[in-house]
Amino acid sequence: MRQRGHIKAPENWINDPNGFIFYNGYYHVFYQHFPYAPRWGTMHWGHAVSKDLVHWEHKGIALYPTKYADQNGCFSGSAVEHEGKLYLYYTGVHYQEIDPENIHKCLNDRFESCQMMLVSEDGEHFDNLDKKRMIIPPLADPRIGNRTHTRDPKVWRGSDAWYMVLGSSSQEQGKLLFYRSEDLKEWKLAGQTTRPGYGWMWECPDYFEADGEKILLFSPMGFMKDGRGSEDMAVCTLVDFEEETCSMRIPDEYQFLDYGLDLYAPQSTLDEQGRRTMIAWLRMPEAVDGKWRGMMCLPRGVEVRNGHICFPVHPEVQKAYSRKISSAAEASEDGYRISLELQDGEAVHIGGYRIWREDGRIYTDRSLVCVQNGKCRMQAETPEVKEDCQLDVYVDKNMIEIYVNNGEYVISHAVYGLGSEIRLEGTGTLEIYTFED
Ligand code: FRU
């Protein structure tokens, strides 16, 4: 099955991107996948590949439960290449109490998590029966981390060894555990860090350098207490990190990864040219046509401009929306991009979705094009944008992404039943581009 632009669930359910990597001439995105219904359940890793970050092909299921340790799910993780092979790292989950009404769910949070790996020779074959290996058993000491809530290994090559960061929880606070390995198989705890004020458990940590800065992406649970939608939110921040001691200092200041507050569990890798590139899961409040639920945002760069982390759409993606058209009705099935400048007091309406600028901020309202079941927020806003405000809005049937000043801020939203009318209330002009067919 082929898709252009966004990666969408091939059917049923997907969540986090996993094992995002450029390997053997292809971009690989694995993803958390429940193949039996459009809702979360026993986790598998689905697999999609692309030559250019624009055209994607779903390759079916890569990882699935086969061991006692991952009997109830292959949770999130990452990939690295070593000596031509693809090394996948993930969290194996075993339920100690199963919901008798739905064996895909655990009761009373009674499950154990361990860290596992599987080596694939070619990125096409994944020997789930013979090639899995447990590398970090369920934690025994609650002062280090939670036996249940420790997961999502992100592995990278440091200057002298391999490193792994895990999200965990201890004493009602989220934390990170760092491990070091010489050979990708034997892992030793090398450091840990925490910080109050960021919720009780940190999911999907990702650490890397870009533009000479050290950056942490993570998804704290129980962080947003505004009662208007999910409490779990992806954030990013500049950090201090010392490799030798694996010590990290996390500041109080943070940015949201995306101000639409629908994106979650981001993961980054290096693209073919060595540029830091990120994708994330778009949480969707309900299934589309009762068939599929969950998609990924467009691949984005990660840049630091004056101490601010920016997420511009990836240049290959921007390039793909190259055919100029005069109305949304002429756009390809896969969507279109609108480019415009917005002054204070001006607005643009896109098929029922509203974007406007006021007091220097960009505001959005999707209440006409989204189910209101309490699972997501209807309105969003950016912090104040000081300079001029150039918008690139990528519109797909079920997702809108607004890039403000080339990624200074981004607002991404799930939408349903979008119309095709585009109306600008303002003085400027807007341009529309779609894919070359
Ligand atoms: C984040 C997350 C991860 C976990 C996975 C399970 O959305 O909860 O922490 O590994 O999803 O599907």
Q: What is the pLDDT of residues 220-248, one digit of tens each?
A: 999 999 999 999 999 999 999 999 999 99
Give the integer Cα–Cα distance in Å for 222 and 201: 8
Q: Nearest residue CA, atom 9 of ligand 1? A: 203
pTM for this predicted structure: 0.97
Task: Check if 43 has its Cβ closer than 6 Å to any atom of ligand 1.
Answer: yes
Q: What pLDDT does residue 1 have?
A: 84
pLDDT of amino acid 386: 83
Closest ligand 1 atom number to CA of residue 203: 9
* C-alpha 128 to ligand 1 mean position (Å): 20
- Please determine, for residue 437, whether its predicted confidence score (pLDDT) is greater than 90: no
Which two three-digit tokens encode residue 147?
């036996």
**In sequence order, which residues have a C-beta less than 8 Å from that of residue 338 and are 6 or more positions away?**
348, 350, 391, 392, 393, 395, 422, 430, 431, 432
Residue 273 Cα to chain centre, angstroms: 21
Say whether 316-435 and 2-309 share the same fold: no
Collapsed DSSP state (helix, strand, coil) of residue 241: strand
CATH number of 2-309: 2.115.10.20
pLDDT per residue as tens digits for the range 331-368: 999 999 999 999 999 999 999 999 999 999 999 999 99
Mutate to test the pocket of ligand 1, among 12, 13, 14, 15 (most ligand atoms within 8 A of CB): 15
Q: Where are the domains of the chain?
A: 2-309, 316-435
HSE-CB for 328 with a 13 A CA cutoff: 21
Residues 249-260: tens digit of each pLDDT: 999 999 999 999
Mean pLDDT of the chain: 97
Told to judge if 16 belongs to the known catalytic residues of this protein, a careful annotator would answer yes
CATH number belonging to domain 316-435: 2.60.120.560
Q: Is the CB of 389 under 6 A from ligand 1?
A: no
pLDDT score at 254? 98
Q: Does residue 202's CB lie within 6 angstroms of at least one atom of ligand 1?
A: no
